[in-house]
Chains A and B, each alone.
Chain A
Amino acid sequence: MNKLPRKSVAGLEDWMCRSLFEQVPFNVAIIDRDYNIVSANSNFSEYFGPWKGKKCYKVYKNLSQPCLGCDARLTFEDGQPRLSDESGVDQHGKEAHYVVHIAPLTKRKGGAVKYIVEMSRDVVETKNWQMEYQLLFERVPCYITVIDRNYTIIRANENFRKNFGDVVGRKCFEVYKKRKTKCPNCPAARTFRDGQVHRSQQTGIKKGGEKAHYVLTTSPLGRQTDQIAHVIEMSTDITDVKKLEKEVIEAERLSAVGQTVAGLAHSIKNILMGLEGGMYIMGRGLEANDREKLDQGWDMLERNFNKTTSLVRDFLSFAKGKMPELEIVDPNELVEEIIGLYKTVAAEHGVNLRADLDTKVSAVPLDPKGVHTCLTNLVSNAIDACEMSDSKTGEVCISTSDKNGVLSFIVSDDGTGMDSDIKKKVFTTFFTTKGGKGTGLGLLTTRKIVKEHGGKISVRSKTGTGTTFRISFPKSRLNMLYREEKSENELETQVRERP
């Protein structure tokens, strides 16, 4: 440590310069026009080793002649300060990365530069970090792109480039989805707007034309400012998971169909028994010329032919592996349609069929045919339950409600009700309490359709009091399915239109 001089101002300045020279957190060296290091601070010595009597290129880079494109030479020539990013060797012979600030030392402004001062700082750690980040960005097993406010991709990682091609400079919607315009409900646009992280499931088209399903996360990039300049889009490819999911659903469907076939065989045997019975009784009637037997046999034949039709229709509806075809529909209108269809039939059985509609219910994406089937099944069951009860009159009510983002259809009756045993079995294949009248597939088909909509069906019932079935659809799920379906359809069109 230099001692503080007490006598002169010049001495004080000299002391300050020396202290600064030593204590500044840089490696400082002063170099003359012949590249000799004429002075250096202890930081420099510690970093680059002995320097006295050596040329700068020898000390910095262990070279025997000046560096090609030497910045110091330029500063000697034009007197301008410079900043450069350099690589050399430290005193242990290890590779060194440092940033050098070069400044001319002149006695007067514009005078000849006899010396320059070089202040350098080690950036090995920063470089390593940069390399690690670069490696992480490139190699991470997901797609990463950085886009600007014009939706132009300014960076893309290796995985993304491999799957979507050379994309820098192109619009993200064009690259991800082969669209000409910005995607509706663009998550990046939302992030640009609110600065928040958004997640969504998307479907895109890879460079080879194959579909890619991915979960996308968009987040603002950089410091929090009033306006976000860039958004980073990170996606995980779930195409394989989606494929597996489809396979599992298909396997479950096939297994359900397989189990159903056994039940179906049972129903068919009952029908065959009815048909053979009809023929047998008609035969007996013909032999004995018994009109009553003939009529009885004919009725049996007719009834069992009708049963065959119902069974085939219900079974096909159950076995279909189709996804719901969603349309924006008014749930209350659907209910009114069912009331119109069943009002007379219900009245014929002494049942008052009525609706109790929630006016707050608004139009949502539903498969109208599917929901129609569900309500038809529930209402016809409810009418049958009333008919089977001891009371001569009955009431069936279909109501709707929209609470906490859940749309519900509720079908309640004051019919026979069910005991706990029956309640346990109502959703099992071919279970029926209607004897030969039912196929045992109605509620199962209803549950299947409800599940396909991402909803659920529940039942509350008490023997002798009545039954209430509730179908609930979370609206967020319906909207998500609708978006997915629309996006799939758009992609299908684009894939078809691709040359």
Chain B
Amino acid sequence: MSKIRSALIVDDEPDVIAYVGAVLEGCGFTVHTADSSENGLKIAEKVSPDIICLDIMMPKESGLTMYTKLRANKELAGIPVIIISGIQTEEEFDFQQLVRDSDVPPPEAFFEKPINVSTFEKEVLHIVDHLKAKRARKKGVL
């Protein structure tokens, strides 16, 4: 039997956590939450979630800092990340410019607030399943 999938939502806005959390729970995820980048990184290390939904504009440390730290961490670098932000994804969001490091790969997906629930659900499931399949293939080859 496959393991229950878990998700981590990092956002300083409790209503966003409640909303995205409810959607992910509906998709069968166990949801962990954090209200800041610092806490998010700690929880990610602790629970090693299957996916992380991350906000960008947060007080103190921005979501991009957490993202850069995640990708630099061997244990956590493989966790897919979906960025959910009020920043307009297509016109305003230049990821490479924001992280200022071309070595940092872009996240798996961007979602602009407010999210379209069905697209979001599909995307989350696709990313997680795709990754699972990829890992399985890798295992098979090895």
Instruction: Enumerate chain A interface residues (CB-CB to B < 8 A).
Output: 262, 265-267, 269-270, 272-278, 280-281, 284, 293, 296, 300, 303-304, 421-422, 431-433, 435-436
Complex: A266 Cα to B18 Cα, angstroms: 19
Q: List 17 A-B contacts (CB under 8 A).
A: A262-B92, A265-B86, A272-B114, A273-B114, A275-B114, A277-B15, A278-B19, A281-B19, A281-B22, A284-B22, A293-B22, A300-B18, A303-B15, A421-B60, A431-B59, A435-B12, A435-B13
B26 within 8 A of A: yes
| B59 and A435 form a contact (CB under 8 A) | yes
Give, as a whole number of angstroms, the nearest-CB distance from A455 to chain B: 27
B35 within 8 A of A: yes
Give, as a whole number of angstroms, the nearest-CB distance from B48 to chain A: 26
Query: Which one of B19, B23, B114 contacts A300 once the chains associate, using CB atoms below 8 Å?
Result: B19
Q: Which residue of A lies closest to B117 (CB)?
A: A280
Q: Which residue of B lies closest to A276 (CB)?
A: B114
Query: Which one of B23, B86, B92 contacts A270 once the chains associate, using CB atoms below 8 Å?
Result: B86
| B114 and A436 form a contact (CB under 8 A) | no
B12 proximity list for chain A (CB < 8 A): 435-436
Query: Which one of A266, A277, A431 contacts B22 once the chains associate, using CB atoms below 8 Å?
Result: A277
Complex: A461 Cα to B48 Cα, angstroms: 37
Complex: A272 Cα to B113 Cα, angstroms: 8
Number of contacting residues on B, CB 8 A? 24
| B13 and A270 form a contact (CB under 8 A) | yes
Query: Which one of A265, A284, A421, A436 contacts B13 once the chains associate, using CB atoms below 8 Å?
Result: A436
A435 proximity list for chain B (CB < 8 A): 12-14, 35, 59
Give, as a whole number of angstroms, the nearest-CB distance from B55 to chain A: 9
Give, as a whole number of angstroms, the nearest-CB distance from B94 to chain A: 14
Complex: A350 Cα to B124 Cα, angstroms: 44
B92 proximity list for chain A (CB < 8 A): 262
Complex: A265 Cα to B57 Cα, angstroms: 13
A303 proximity list for chain B (CB < 8 A): 15
| A436 and B22 form a contact (CB under 8 A) | no
B23 proximity list for chain A (CB < 8 A): 280
| B112 and A280 form a contact (CB under 8 A) | no
Chain B, 93-142, CB within 8 A of any chain A CB: 112-115, 117
Q: Which residue of B lies closest to A281 (CB)?
A: B22
**Contacts A280-B23, A284-B26 given: A273-B18 contact, CB under 8 Å?**
no
